[in-house]
Amino acid sequence: MKDWIGNKKSTFIQLGASNHSNKEREERDFYATDPKALEIFLDKLDEDKIELHNDIWECACGMGHLSEVLKKRDYCVFSSDIVNREYKEMMAKDFLQTTTTYPTGVEMDILTNPPYKYAQEFVEHALDIQADGYYTIMFLKIQFLEGQARKKLFEKYPPKYVYVNSARQLCAMNGEFDKYKATAICYCWFIWQKGFKGESVIRWI
Ligand SMILES: C[S@@+](CC[C@H](N)C(=O)[O-])C[C@H]1O[C@@H](n2cnc3c(N)ncnc32)[C@H](O)[C@@H]1O
């Protein structure tokens, strides 16, 4: 398995890494995703014979909760975030200012739980810069389906699949899972494949 540590691209990893205050960390919408949410989603994709590309960009990686699950499954993971939260494999990078999906030299799928405030911007930006056939996968509240701005987005970029979690999955502010035992929020995994123009399929995990 390839990894970014030791790879020559890893010279980027700490460049520009920023020291943000705790307040700024919260303001940047840091809610870590329970790794289990990604585990059960990837199991379901296996069952449904949906194969992601080997190279995946976690473009708002926080402390690496999702990146680590992907790595364990042997994906080649590139991790970045606007704030350095001491995840040792991250590169400091404002995703919305990026212009390609291959900062490492290869095209990649994108998978993240984006900052809630900029969820739509993240989806649009990922799809704008992505090459045909690659996946953008986002962990989003089910409410992402509604709204006029979303309607426009879905007309331009219909998701190929929406996987709804039938059991609630947890996200914890600042990664403090001890403080978050339950949630009233229903999350879904939205899957876009650049170039897809058909009807969206909804499935349940
Ligand atoms: C909801 S948290 C999710 C963290 C991680 N993806 C996970 O699931 O555990 C959103 C993350 O987006 C990062 N973020 C906010 N704005 C960003 C930007 N413009 N570019 C890159 N990351 C950003 C925050 O710093 C935060 O770590």
Domains defined for the chain, CATH in brackets? 8-204 (3.40.50.150)
Name every protein residue with a CB atom under 6 angstroms from any ligand 1 atom: 28-33, 59-62, 65-66, 81-83, 94-96, 112-115, 118
Q: Higher pLDDT residue, 21 or 162? A: 162
Reported as a single tens digit per residue, the pLDDT across 173-190 is 888 898 887 888 999 999
Neighbour-count burial for 43-56, b at 16+ CB within 10 Å, e otherwise: ebbeeeeeebeebb
Q: Name the residue type at position 129.
A: I
- Selection from 83, 136, 85, 67 nearest residue 107 by Cα: 136
Q: Whose CA is nearest to atom 26 of ligand 1?
A: 30
Reported as a single tens digit per residue, the pLDDT across 126-165 is 999 999 999 999 999 999 999 999 999 999 999 999 999 9
pTM of the predicted model as reported, rounded to 2 decimal places: 0.88
Separation of alpha carbons 24 and 40, rounded Å: 31
Reported as a single tens digit per residue, the pLDDT across 65-103 is 999 999 999 999 999 999 999 899 999 999 999 998 888
Say how many Å lie between the CA of residue 30 and the centre of ligand 1.
Answer: 6
- Give me the pLDDT at residue 99, please: 92
Ligand 1 pocket test, pick from 113, 122, 141, 170 with the greatest ligand atom count within 8 Å of Cβ, gives 113
- Residue 1 pLDDT > 50: no
Ligand 1 pocket test, pick from 34, 67, 81 with the greatest ligand atom count within 8 Å of Cβ, gives 81
